[in-house]
Amino acid sequence: MARKGENIYKRKDGRWEGRYIKARTYNDKPVFGYVYSRSYAETKQKLVQAKAESNTKPANISVTGITYKALIQMWLCDVKARTKESTYSHYVHSIETHIIPRLGSLTLKQLSSEKIDGFIEELLENGRVDKSGGLSPKTVSDLAAIVRSTLRFAFERGYDCPCSNKRLSIKKSYTTIRVLSKEEQKRIVKVLLDNTDFYKMAVIISLYMGLRVGEVCALRWCDLDLDAGVLHVRNTVQRIQNISQDANSKTRIIISSPKSQCSIRDIPIPDCIKPIIANFQGSPNTHVVSTPGKEFTEPRVLQYHFSKYVEKAGIDKANYHSLRHTFATRCVELGFELKCLSEILGHSNVNITLNRYVHTSMELKGKNMELLSLSE
């Protein structure tokens, strides 16, 4: 809430935000400026100073000549403080790779609905950097979401943009992730139980508890309470784009909180895998899966080992994420309550679990069809 009409508000991220009119457009629309601080008093002081500085500038300015690239840079500055490092890095990479090259030079006045529709169509048809084809609908939808956010930002700041209220929706298509059949699962489990090491144990954890590869790589022994029989998911390991100007490499590894608040969760450890985990238990602050000479194992290393286990089991190719889908499918086949399964997987709602992670087998479909009776 604002205090005493001063346009100072407490934000959800804990900071205080002060808003003031820093200029007006040619048609007298207000252009708002914003100041931020961790305390109310400091925000108020910044707001007074900002208002004083704005009064020394011309009362009316035209902002229609601002380029979309300049607007995006302002938007990035605005979202940086309230987004995860990995998310911000993804924004920067997506914007520099796909959005600015195609739309960045246009002024807000030139950024018409037709131009944005053409931009989306081009991404779907020929959006890959190497021009070998189009981007997936999911990727294009993510890019459209960024464009939508920047247009909303322009509208809230009072910029004159003809398509600031344009609705952008891309019909998503989800590629069906391969799920291991029961026979394939038995064969790969046989490989995992033969001379089990840290890598094989990590795969077992994902197969029987539904963890993502980054979540497994981030596990420390203090996250595994074998006495209470609970695994705590608190972090994830991921490789992100290195957006630093003086970076020596294009990407870097970070350990951060999981992708969403719902992904921070506690999962009961199945009794069948407790003895396997107990055989490798280490000191509390060490990582459960560690590569020789390194503090932790990064996801692509674990994915490499998993591909070798798939090959040794003599089954068709499968990526690491198929373990998570296989876990979800087995749980449904066993009659898990869907809300319970959704929380174990770290989803925000049951629909995500049903639509993306549950793949019923023909065997289960057959059993359900046999429940039908002509007498009823």
Please tell me the distance from the alpha carbon of residue 129 to that of residue 131, in angstroms, as a whole number.
5
Q: What number of other Cβ atoms are within 10 A of residue 14's Cβ? A: 8
In a domain, 96, yes or no: yes
- Phi and psi at residue 183, to the nearest 5°: -70, -40
Q: How many domains does the chain have?
A: 3
Is 301 found in the same domain as 328?
A: yes
Is 206 found in the same domain as 85?
A: no
Is 360 found in the same domain as 220?
A: yes
Is 206 found in the same domain as 91?
A: no
Structural domain range at position 144: 68-156
Is 352 found in the same domain as 245?
A: yes
User: Do the Cβ atoms of 316 and 185 come closer than 8 Å?
Assistant: no
Work out the mean pLDDT of the chain and round it to a whole number.
85
pLDDT one-digit tens code per residue, 81-135: 888 888 899 999 999 999 999 999 998 888 888 899 899 999 999 989 888 889 9
In a domain, 261, yes or no: yes
> For 279-286, what is the mean pLDDT?
92
The tokens for 154 are 């322009």
Q: Specify the higher pLDDT residue, 259 or 92.
A: 92
In a domain, 168, yes or no: no
Per-residue pLDDT band for 374 (boundaries 50, 70, 90) equals: low
CATH code of 85's domain: 1.10.150
In a domain, 190, yes or no: yes
Is 290 found in the same domain as 249?
A: yes
Q: Check whether 310 has a pLDDT greater than 90.
A: yes
Burial class (CB in 10 A: 0-12, 13-18, 19+), 177: middle
In a domain, 162, yes or no: no
Is 139 found in the same domain as 247?
A: no
> Among residues 297, 198, 182, 268, which one has the least CA distance to residue 190?
182
pTM of the model as a whole: 0.70
Q: What number of other Cβ atoms are within 10 A of residue 149's Cβ? A: 15
Is 125 found in the same domain as 238?
A: no
Is 211 found in the same domain as 150?
A: no
The tokens for 299 are 């996801």
Is 231 found in the same domain as 151?
A: no
Is 44 found in the same domain as 75?
A: no
User: Do the Cβ atoms of 141 and 283 come closer than 8 Å?
Assistant: no
Is 190 found in the same domain as 149?
A: no
